[in-house]
Structure 1
Amino acid sequence: MAATKSLALAGLRLLKRLAKLLNSQGVLLALLSLAVFASFRYETFLTPLNLMNIMRQNSMLAIVALGMTVVILSGGIDLSVGSLVALGGVVAAMLARQGSFAAIVGGIASTTLLGVVNGLLVSRARLQPFVVTLFTASAARGLALSITEEKSVAVSSTASGLVWLGRGFIGWVPVPVLIVALLYFAAWFMLHRSRLGLHIFAIGNNEEASRLMGVNPNQVKLAVYTFSGLLSGLAGIILAGRLGAGQPVAAFGWETDAIAASVMGGTFLAGGQGSVFPTLVGVLLLGMMYNLLNLEGTITPWWQLVLRGGFLLLVVLFQQRIVHRG
């Protein structure tokens, strides 16, 4: 009798913990619900090949969304990430003839520099992040189109390392997926176990109060926009390696997807509250939605956009309701 009672209490505690987890993360509940639905409707959904494709195809967006989340936590926004992905991929492809090292360093350096420009204009010139990053997005996209003459740039066969970043495997795990895992764990540690992370949350909650506490908001803003630019360049070179070319029109609209993933993961657009792993769940939810619409096969691309937008709105509203209830 006592053993049965103990087992029942243990099961009840487990259910309470599960309920608490689901209540705190509406996006996780949406992801699990969608996965259950898809597993019954589509025979090929749960195959290892399909699940691995979802992770590989969305690894670049996951990297961009990570940088976006850190920027939003500081109270800012970065609308330039999509254009920086395209520019980083184009620069890497153009430098591929000089070898993988030059391509990788050049692609990341170009976008990191623009991230520094964003940070300086936001922190030193005190311009609104929306305006600054919108300007940078336009400039970076125009630069990518200009230097390529609006054409794709094939990645040279000499840059095998660049191609490996986009298409390679370590064991049975794709290299981009491993990169995403390492980056998210490192970012989580930085946000929750370092002084810089504490300062990011502080200025996101109340910049003036953080200044009175001895935090230098200018340095923090410069750091987060530089970090976002660096990650955009990394995503760009991985995308170029995966596609075998740098495309100046690549990553169009990725900034909205990155913001959507962050918000669905519970990151407040006002800053100061959120975390990185829920953002990753949001990215997987977006990727799963695309995958299911493709498996359906009867929905036109235009209606896919309509359905996707409506579903995202429902998830965000559900997430907001849970946050307010909390």
Structure 2
Amino acid sequence: MQNLLKQNGGLLALIVLFVFASLRYTGFLSEYNIESFLRYNAMFGLIALGMFFVIITGGIDLSVGSMAAFASVIAALMSPYGLLPAVLVPVLLCAVLGFLNGLVITRFKVMPFVVTLGMFLIARGLALIASGQQTVLLSSESGVGNLGQGDFLGFPIPAWMLFVAFALGTVFLIKAPYGRFALTIGGNEEAARLMGIPVEKVKLLVYSLSSALAGLAGVILATQFSAGQPNEGMGWELTAIAAVVVGGTLLTGGRGSVINTLVGVVLLGMIFTVLNFENGLGHININSYWQTVIRGLFLLVVVLLQSSGTRIKLNLNWKSA
């Protein structure tokens, strides 16, 4: 029972919250609310997916929020040239920056926290330089905005992109050698080296992937709000980390689930949707700043629970030995 709760605690919390919200708020299950929820949270889901692959190797990526802002500006600048350049150029540029993250981490043996914090500042600066420190409007003639605002088969396009990304991520983790290698590296990097696993190549891949997915989230941001926004993305890395950890992935690496990461994304999104509904009822008044505080406290509590569970397990193993 304890293992079941530990592995599926996020899903159980999501079910309880969903039932509560469905019964309490009349407009919670409306088509508009569901579509808005999926369309907006697709950005965080893509970033969380990239963060997941970084974390299972034992790393961290603090640059993803700035990457998304940078990509949104580049997407807006490329929008007059059509959909393909507006998507590919920012995603590829972010992938290159992510590759640089991985290169510095693997070649110079610098801690991921320090490297990605530096890239956080670099990407933010590039976004401000490229935009001239102002919002860049999306071209209205090219139809690029349909990517973020349009539907396909009655479903928001960003949501389709999210589900396809998570389906591919699941296949990659389970079936692809590099996916399994990432878990092994997070479990014990030295043992992975002795097994002949290409540790450096795997890390280069996951950091490039994380930045590329952040870039895709930035494209959705630009197309959804019809503008590239260099000051957006603040705190998105914390939201992504929280979603991954809530999904049961260890911050130390070596264990995690793509599907549970999606559960974490939906759970966090639903928590803030519920808070917004409560604001609308007038019972509470929690602005965006307090929501940031709640997000931070939520992450801290989950990490503490993880740490306590790991400590108890280690103590039990030591006593049994």
TM over 0.5: yes
Q: Which moved more, 1:60-69 or 1:87-96?
A: 87-96
- CA distance 1:310–1:135, change in 2 (3 Å): closer
Contact 1:42 1:295 in 2 (8 A): yes
Query: What is the aligned counterpart of 1:193 among 160, 175, 179?
Result: 175
Q: Which moved more, 1:300-309 or 1:40-49?
A: 300-309
Report whether the alignment pairs 1:136 with 2:116.
no
Contact 1:22 1:28 in 2 (8 A): no
* Equivalent-residue separation in structure 2 for 1:92 and 1:268 (angstroms): 34
Q: Which moved more, 1:239-248 or 1:95-104?
A: 95-104
Which residue of structure 2 lines up, in the alignment, with residue 305 of structure 1? 292
Which amino acid in the other structure matches residue 113 of structure 2?
Answer: F
Identical aligned residues as a percent: 45
Report whether the alignment pairs 1:229 with 2:211.
yes
Which residue of structure 2 lines up, in the alignment, with residue 246 of structure 1? 228
Q: Which moved more, 1:231-240 or 1:310-319?
A: 310-319
How far off its partner does 1:248 sit? 0.1
SS of equivalent to 2:232: coil
Question: Normalising by structure 1, what TM-score?
Answer: 0.89
Query: What is the aligned counterpart of 1:148 among 116, 123, 131?
Result: 131
Per-residue CA distance 1:47-84 (angstroms, 9 max, x = gap): 23212221111001000000000000111110000000
How far off its partner does 1:22 sit? 4.7
Which residue of structure 1 lines up, in the alignment, with residue 101 of structure 2? 118
SS of equivalent to 1:76: coil
* Equivalent-residue separation in structure 2 for 1:268 and 1:174 (angstroms): 31
- CA distance 1:311–1:41, change in 2 (3 Å): farther
- CA distance 1:134–1:312, change in 2 (3 Å): closer
Question: Normalising by structure 2, what TM-score?
Answer: 0.90
Per-residue CA distance 1:128-163 (angstroms, 9 max, x = gap): 100100000001001111221211000112331x31
Contact 1:204 1:272 in 2 (8 A): yes
User: Equivalences for 1:265-280 in 2 at 5 Å?
Assistant: 265-280=247-262
Unaligned runs of 5+ in 2: 314-321
SS of equivalent to 2:145: helix
- CA distance 1:133–1:56, change in 2 (3 Å): same
Contact 2:275 2:286 in 1 (8 A): no
Report whether the alignment pairs 1:83 with 2:70.
no
Per-residue CA distance 1:160-180 (angstroms, 9 max, x = gap): 1x3122111111111111111
Contact 1:118 1:136 in 2 (8 A): yes
How far off its partner does 1:311 sit? 4.2
Contact 2:6 2:248 in 1 (8 A): no
* Equivalent-residue separation in structure 2 for 1:250 and 1:305 (angstroms): 14
- CA distance 1:303–1:222, change in 2 (3 Å): closer
Based on CA coordinates, which of the two structures has the bigger radius of gyration?
A: 1
How far off its partner does 1:321 sit? 6.2
Query: What is the aligned counterpart of 2:38 among 55, 71, 85?
Result: 55
- CA distance 1:30–1:174, change in 2 (3 Å): same
Query: What is the aligned counterpart of 1:101 among 75, 84, 89?
Result: 84
Contact 2:62 2:116 in 1 (8 A): yes
Q: Which moved more, 1:134-143 or 1:27-36?
A: 27-36
Per-residue CA distance 1:15-67 (angstroms, 9 max, x = gap): x9xx9755521111111121122122211112232122211110010000000
Query: What is the aligned counterpart of 2:237 among 236, 255, 259?
Result: 255
Q: Which moved more, 1:304-313 or 1:224-233?
A: 304-313
Contact 1:62 1:283 in 2 (8 A): yes
Cα RMSD for the two superposed structures: 2.0
Unaligned runs of 5+ in 1: 1-15
Which amino acid in the other structure matches residue 285 of structure 2?
Answer: I
Report whether the alignment pairs 1:172 with 2:172.
no
Which residue of structure 1 lines up, in the alignment, with residue 317 of structure 2? none
How far off its partner does 1:319 sit? 6.0
Count, aligned residues: 308
Contact 1:92 1:104 in 2 (8 A): yes
How far off its partner does 1:312 sit? 4.5
User: Equivalences for 1:14-53 in 2 at 5 Å?
Assistant: 22-53=5-36
How far off its partner does 1:306 sit? 3.5
